[in-house]
Amino acid sequence: MLNRWLKLAVVLFAFALIAAACGNDDDDAPAAPAPTAAATEAPAPEPEATEAPAPAEEEPMEMTVPDNPDNGVTSDSIKVGWMGDLTGPTASSQSFNSHGIEAYFECVNESGGILGRMIDYLPEDDQFNADNAAINFTKLTEDDKVIALLGLGGSHISTQLQPDVEALNLPVIGPPQTIDIQLEGDQYFNNLAHYGDQADLAAGHIAATVGGIENAVVMGISLEVPSGTEFAAYVEQSVLKGGGTYVNTLYVAPGATEVTAQMVELQEGIDEQGVNYVTLHGSPGAGLVVMQGMADSGITDVPIIGIHGIAANSIWTEGPESVSDQTFGIHSFMTANNNIAASADMERCATLAGYDGEHLNLNFSHGFLNGYVFHQAVERAAETGELSRESLTEALKGTFDTMGITCPIDWSSSNHSQCGAAFSLDTASGGMVPANPFSFYADSFDGEYGIEIG
């Protein structure tokens, strides 16, 4: 089936508005969403054929390109890399991203690869450490000579490596964070909502919950990394712009196992300034530490809206229910329990790769989509007669089918795709569901990026 995906002409979206999208008039906390109708209804049966089918069209000739070992293209393989955290403090988020990519390529290779070559997927674990990342980057680009990276995790790492990425003309597809610096240059192709977009969406979600952004008194909690500072600054800007109040940002060290001091400050903000909402930046592991700290401190009546790292199944399956039942996380992708064109293949490929059940995780969906976009771009680049980092970069500057996993992608004039929704867990399917379709939130994004952080 994978060989036929590229013939899809349109993206199939089948979203239904979820009841009680962002809370109700009788309760300050947002109601937990029910699964979308699209997630629970069976697809309509195919109509029965009434006449003999037309003769099958002749299959197009397989495109060929010459070997280019300096750019990862050998006679029998195409080398592509991934960099991120597989065993460190943010592995609870980033590892699913890698698994999604691996699952996509398992299915591609089962079907014969791309351009007659197997995809040699090379993930490298940096444990969220910038020194490790620098070593891994050198290995992938100089030793393995990969043609692209399908992920580059950690804002402190993508910031550090930005000059090298540009100097090598190395395309980076779908990194698991979209920060200001990744909007610069030509090499990053972002399909995850920028932190400015996530802040705008968070402000809109908060406004719907508390009866208007002017009624919001927000305190942020962020990991102590560049993206944590950036997200907090964007939230503050969005809240203040709407007439709300932003109190302060509390920072948590990566790998922290307790947040006692931060909970004391949060309680003071509630008692003295009337904090009625928390925005949360971090990985699922960090999010669980904060949520457990809130539960242990008796802070269970202040709802949370978090970044994409908080939109993880474990937040609801492992977190304290007294806190998680008022929590949403922002993300840009759909899991396979939603009725999208990719659903069946995501589940099958996850099983083939040994990752049963991960098709219900949003970061797995992100990785799977990155593999699919790469597939499309490689075949498009091959039409030029060569496959290189340069031709792949140019091929990425266009539109891409997403099989309903995210909004339609168009990188022809921008290297960023605005798309996002507030998600929580649907316990019936075990997957993630949006409170509203992506289109519901589209007007929330102001498209303004670049913020002074001082």
Whole-prediction pTM: 0.82
Q: Which residues pair with 249 in a beta bridge?
A: 220
User: With contact defined as beta carbons under 8 Å apart, do 276 and 250 qualify?
Assistant: no
DSSP, collapsed to helix, strand or coil, labels residue 111 as coil
CA nearest 240: which of 437, 53, 443, 451?
A: 451
Specify the DSSP element, H or E, that contains 201: helix 195-210
The answer for residues whose C-beta is within 8 angstroms of residue 223's C-beta and 6 or more apart is 251, 252, 253, 254, 281, 282, 283, 286
Query: Going by DSSP bridges, is the β-strand pair 409-410/399-400 parallel, antiparallel, or unpaired?
Result: antiparallel
The answer for residues whose C-beta is within 8 angstroms of residue 306's C-beta and 6 or more apart is 279, 280, 281, 282, 287, 315, 327, 328, 329, 330
pLDDT of residue 185: 80
User: With contact defined as beta carbons under 8 Å apart, do 124 and 136 qualify?
Assistant: yes
pLDDT of residue 345: 98
Cα–Cα distance, 137 to 160 (Å, whole number)? 11
User: With contact defined as beta carbons under 8 Å apart, do 342 and 368 qualify?
Assistant: yes
Cα–Cα distance, 56 to 404 (Å, whole number)? 27
Cα–Cα distance, 190 to 415 (Å, whole number)? 6
List C-alpha distances in Å: 411 to 21, 120, 188, 398. Answer: 30, 26, 10, 5
Cα–Cα distance, 448 to 180 (Å, whole number)? 10
* Tens of pLDDT, residue by residue, the chain (454 residues): 443 333 333 233 333 323 333 333 333 333 323 333 333 333 333 333 333 334 444 444 567 899 999 999 999 999 999 999 999 988 888 999 999 999 999 999 999 999 999 999 999 999 999 999 999 999 999 999 999 999 999 889 998 999 999 999 999 999 988 888 888 888 999 999 999 999 999 999 999 999 999 999 999 999 999 889 999 999 999 999 999 999 999 999 998 999 999 999 999 999 999 999 999 999 999 999 999 999 999 999 999 999 999 999 999 999 999 999 999 999 999 999 999 999 999 999 999 999 999 999 999 999 999 999 999 999 999 999 999 999 999 999 999 999 999 999 999 999 999 999 999 999 999 999 999 999 999 988 998 898 865 5
Cα–Cα distance, 372 to 376 (Å, whole number)? 6
What is the secondary structure of 203-238 as a DSSP string?
Answer: HHHHHHHHTSGGG-EEEEEEESSHHHHHHHHHHHHH
| Per-residue pLDDT reduced to its tens digit, 108-154 | 999 999 999 999 999 999 999 999 999 999 999 999 999 999 999 98
b/e burial code for range 305-328 (CB count within 10 A of at least 16 → b): bbbbbbbbbbbbebbeeebbbbbb
The answer for residues whose C-beta is within 8 angstroms of residue 399's C-beta and 6 or more apart is 408, 409, 410, 411, 412
DSSP, collapsed to helix, strand or coil, labels residue 260 as helix
CA nearest 412: which of 189, 195, 194, 171?
A: 189
Specify the DSSP element, H or E, that contains 121: strand 118-125
List C-alpha distances in Å: 263 to 292, 310, 348. Answer: 10, 18, 43
Neighbours of 241 (CB within 10 A): 13
pLDDT of residue 62: 60
pLDDT of residue 451: 80
Cα–Cα distance, 401 to 439 (Å, whole number)? 17
Cα–Cα distance, 331 to 310 (Å, whole number)? 9
User: With contact defined as beta carbons under 8 Å apart, do 42 and 344 qualify?
Assistant: no
What residue type is assigned to position 446 of the chain?
D
pLDDT of residue 12: 31
User: With contact defined as beta carbons under 8 Å apart, do 422 and 434 qualify?
Assistant: yes
Count of positions (residues) in the chain? 454
